[in-house]
Every structure is written in C-alpha cells, then in structure tokens.
Amino acid sequence: MEQKKKQNWQEYLWLNNIYIYSLTFIFKIIQSQQFKNQLLFFYSIINSNKNQKIEKNQKTLCQKMRKIIIIAALICLTFAQNVQECPTDGRQLKCTIQQSPVCGIRGLSNGKQIKENFDNYCIACSIGKVEYTVEGKCEDYPAQAKFCSPAQSKAQICTMEYAPQCGFFNKSVNCIAAPCAIDEYNRCKACSTENVLYTIKGKCHHE
C-alpha cells in the first residue's frame, strides 16, 4: 500500500511539473512580439471579410473550419520567427493602430535593401508595400546589416563563390561570447544557416 501511494505521489509530481512547464511555455508564446504581430495580421484578414454574405450551409461551414485550422497552424509555425513575410495574394488588409514596431524590408535589383519603420506588421505589408518585416525598429540593428529574406533562409543550394559574410543569429540563439554570429564563405550560405537573421560583409570579429 505504501509503495502504491509513493508511486501515485511521484506520478502526481511528474504531471504537475509538465503542467507548469507547459503553462510557462504558452505564456512566453503569448507575450512574444511575433505572436502579437500574427494576431494583428489574422485579425485584419477576418475584419476585411466581415461584410461579405456568408451562406449557412454545410459546405461553407467546412471551408471556415479549414481556414481556422490553417490559421492556427500558421500561428504555431511562425510565433518564434523574427522575420515575417508579407502576403503576396493582393488581399486588402484592414489594420489596427496597435504599436508593435517592425522594420519593413524591400529589396532592390542592385542587391541593396530599403528599410523603413512601421507601427506594426499589418501596416507595413498593406501600406508600406514591403516584402517582409523584422521585429523591432530598423535602428535597433547595425546600419550595415543586410537582412535575410524568408526565401534566402530556405535556400538548399549555394554557389562556392568566396565573399566572406558574418551571419548574426536571431534572439532564439544564446551565445556565450560576442558577437553571436557565424563566419560563412558567402551570403547565401550565411542566410541559409538556421536562425541567422542578417549578415554583415566581411568576417566576424570574435572577442
């Protein structure tokens, strides 16, 4: 009997720890800037469609359910990202005025980037006509920083061109020494490295 009570107590402690860790993790997600930006974006999508007539039938209900599932999946996949790509389907977004500063990025044909501050992700994508945004204000990053686009981060193959770049990691990476970066032989290789947010030309100056 005593042994059974001990086992039950150990099981209770184990489940309790999992419960606490889960709540802590969920709380961090909700508090993150990226999660707030995603909520603003999805709110604008729903708000832009609120005046449309919805037919009350089974087909419409299924479509709405699929949309909700997709939105939930997108939130789960993107809450931890520093870079968020703007929609490219031409939808009109209705944005709020909530202050969640982002740096909007638009690439030029010569390889340079135009950076501009916006109040939030939705405004940057709808009014600013940018390609993607980075959490925080542009001046929060080095002036010479060149951000990695979502497409560049997903690159599978890079050329062997030697043009040294220092790739700086996003906030999800904790480094024991500055700078929190990695040396790569070119920008493509640096950007395709997991969690690299931006690059600076040349080799890293490790302390």
Residue 15 lies in a domain: no
Please check whether residues 45 and 81 belong to one and the same domain.
yes
Domain termination site, one of 123, 140, 157: 140
CA 113 to the chain's CA centroid: 19
Cβ atoms < 10 Å from Cβ of 197:
24
Residue pair 191/170 in contact by the 8 Å Cβ criterion = no
First to last CA, the chain: 60
Q: Domain range spanning residue 66?
A: 32-140
Say whether pLDDT at 85 is over 60. yes
Considering the domain architecture, whether residues 179 and 148 belong to the same structural domain is answered as: yes
Whether 26 is in a domain gets the answer no
Residue with tokens 């100056």: 205
**pTM, entire model:** 0.61
Would you state the pLDDT for residue 93? 75
Do 201 and 183 share a domain, yes or no?
yes
The verdict on residue 12 lying in a domain is: no
Average pLDDT over residues 163-170: 96
- Cα 178–chain centre separation: 23
Token digits of residue 161:
């061109």
One domain, residues 37 and 136: yes
pLDDT one-digit tens code per residue, 108-145? 888 899 999 999 999 999 877 899 999 999 999 999 99
CA distance 40 to 123: 10
Domain check: are 36 and 113 in the same one? Answer: yes
pLDDT, one tens digit per residue, over 30-74 is 555 555 555 555 555 555 554 444 444 555 555 555 555 444 444
pLDDT for the residue numbered 152: 94
Cα 190 to Cα 207: distance, rounded to the nearest angstrom: 20
Residue 5 in any domain: the answer is no
Give SS3 for 98.
coil
User: How many domains, in total, are found in the chain?
Assistant: 2
| Position 19 in a domain | no
Answer yes or no: do 114 and 46 share one domain: yes
Residue 20 lies in a domain: no
- Nearest-CA neighbor of 187 among 144, 129, 127, 136? 144
**Does residue 153 share a domain with residue 136?**
no
How far apart are alpha carbons 64 and 62 in whole angstroms? Answer: 5
